[in-house]
A and B are shown apart, each in its own frame.
Chain A
Amino acid sequence: MRKIHWLDWMILALLLLFAGYVWTRIEGTLNYKWRWEIIPQYLLHYDQDQGRWTAGILMEGLLNTIRISVLASILALVLGTILGLARCAQNLAVRMLARTYLELLRNIPSIVVIFIFYFFLSEQLIAAFNIDGWARDIARGENAWLWQVFFGDMRRFPSLVSGILVLALFESAFVGEIIRAGIQSIPRGQREAAQSLGLPWRDEMRFVVLPQAMHKIVPPLANQSITLVKNSAIVSLISVHDLTYRTLALVSSTRAIFEAWITTALIYGGLCFLLSLLFRRLEKGSDR
């Protein structure tokens, strides 16, 4: 399997040829001027006024993407667990409700879902709880820096929250399916044994079903969290200042289309690759 076949050479040659073609199109026909040198400052630059290194807009976008991904993952896990349990509930109404939610999310394009969640849910929630005013108070308060570590610029907190909510609601359906599959992989006899001891439903889940389902749940959940990082790009549509949004802004102000998008692609790719390496290592560790 390791040996390189003549077919591999051929495929490689074709790929190079194609890359070369794209390159000449960009260079020659479009008369594109590459300006890679402008990119680094948007990642990190030295601020003369403040006398320290500060994050450029791409880096800020990346930090927001990470914040959104982490917080949305946690929320999606909570919501998804509830949803997964609801899918296995005794009560028919509960089951139907969970099923409907899942089917809606499965059969509506994610972009449409995002807008619906945004306008119908998170906007209303943010207005209802006056999150706007609350965040502005914090931005002026003393501990603003601590909040910024977790939530970035507090003046944009409501937008971040809606990004997190929307993404978490969207991903919770898939997390729910993973949890359901895990629960249903446990043989019926296990649950019957728990029930015949008189264990109430939540103890049956907590002590018998979920601990055993973990082996089946954790690996796909890790995959799903990588998918979530990639899907997080979608929140740029509702003006959350994530990496994708910032790249769009950068492109429109500098016209460095190719450089900016290649950089962003590398950042997303690197982030997800690191995550998958991490999960693989953890999985190996837990096998031992």
Chain B
Amino acid sequence: MTDLTPIIQMTDVSRIFGDFRALDRVSLSVLPGERVVVCGPSGSGKSTLIRCLNRLESHDSGTIIVDGIELGEDTRDIRAVRQEVGMVFQQFNLFPHLTVLENLTLGPIRVRRMSRSAAEELARNYLDRVHIPEQADKFPAQLSGGQQQRVAIARSLCMEPRIMLFDEPTSALDPEMINEVLDVMVELAGTGMTMICVTHEMGFARKVAHKMVFMEAGRIAEIAPPEAFFSNPSSARARLFLDQILEH
């Protein structure tokens, strides 16, 4: 964290569905290499927040600048940002009609204009990194949930993004598979990747986060370093929330 210009700068961002404010004047800045964990009750706008960062969701007001590019209507800007921002979904969203290897090489070949052989080498490299080199030629449906999510992470990494977004990457997994995915994410954190992660895995948050963001009703209710957040949350709502999820 030597470079002090933020790689993500959200200023007064609002997103309104009908007459419901899913995001209400949210401001957040993230430095290169910084790891942010976002938590909060269901419906508080966590998904909306990170989906705005690669324009899967558009914002109605405020500004979002990612890696020096302001997100707006311009599709070329949007695609430029998406090339630098990887996203991992709760439901994996692997392409079921393609093999694992094809899932990984599609982006590099079509977007980065790599040759097939170079893309396959890159893909095998990242499959190694997520510890499933032997599954390259299988189809997603032949893998366990934990393996699928690791493929999905590898798919995003193959684009060699500068930022990784995670939207509850372990919520759809059986408990025994959660750790294999979290381990991969911890290793990724070790490489200095900028990460924004929506999760309720507080053990993981403690281990990797530089900064905790607590959301409530479309607003950021609290931003704090993890030590402070877990030991002494300033808002009553955050305290209640922590009590509830730490009970389990």
Interface residues, chain A, with chain B CB atoms under 8 Å away: 187, 189-190, 192-200, 203, 207-208, 211-212
Contact = CB atoms under 8 A, between A and B. Distances in A.
A199 B94 CA distance: 14
Given A197-B82, A197-B111, A198-B79, A192 B93 contact: yes
Interface in B147-192: 152, 155-156, 159
Nearest to A212: B97
24 contacts: A187-B93, A189-B91, A190-B93, A192-B87, A193-B93, A193-B95, A194-B95, A195-B56, A196-B56, A196-B87, A196-B156, A197-B82, A197-B155, A197-B159, A198-B82, A198-B111, A199-B106, A199-B107, A199-B110, A200-B79, A203-B111, A207-B95, A208-B106, A212-B97
B83 to A, nearest CB: 4
A199 B93 CA distance: 15
Contacts of B86: 196
B121 to A, nearest CB: 18
B89 A192 contact: yes
Given A211-B97, A212-B96, A198 B159 contact: yes
Nearest to B107: A197
B89 A189 contact: yes
Contacts of B119: none
Give the 9 A-B residue pairs with the shortest CB-CB distance, closest first: A193-B93, A197-B107, A198-B82, A189-B93, A196-B87, A198-B83, A198-B111, A203-B110, A198-B79
Interface string B67-92: 00000000000011011011101010
Given A198-B83, A198-B159, A207 B107 contact: no
A30 to B, nearest CB: 61
Q: Chain A interface secondary structure, helix, strand, loop or mixed? A: helix
A196 B82 CA distance: 6
A189 B110 CA distance: 19
Interface of B: 54, 56, 79-80, 82-83, 85-87, 89, 91, 93-97, 106-107, 110-111, 152, 155-156, 159
B77 to A, nearest CB: 12
Contacts of A193: 87, 89, 93-95, 152
A193 B92 CA distance: 9
B54 A196 contact: yes
Given A193-B94, A193-B95, A199 B111 contact: yes
Contacts of B87: 192-193, 196
Contacts of A198: 79-80, 82-83, 107, 111, 159
Q: Which of A193, A207, A211 has the most CB of B within 10 A?
A: A193
A200 B82 CA distance: 10
A146 to B, nearest CB: 40
Contacts of A211: 97
B96 to A, nearest CB: 7
Nearest to B84: A198
Q: Which of A194, A196, A200, A208 has the most CB of B within 10 A?
A: A196
B176 to A, nearest CB: 24
Contact of B85 (A196, A199, A207, A208): A196
A261 B152 CA distance: 62
A211 B106 CA distance: 14
A193 B107 CA distance: 10
Given A189-B89, A192-B93, A212-B97, A207 B110 contact: yes
Contacts of A194: 95
A190 B110 contact: no
Nearest to B85: A196
A187 B93 CA distance: 9
Contacts of A187: 93
Contacts of B156: 196-197
B155 to A, nearest CB: 7
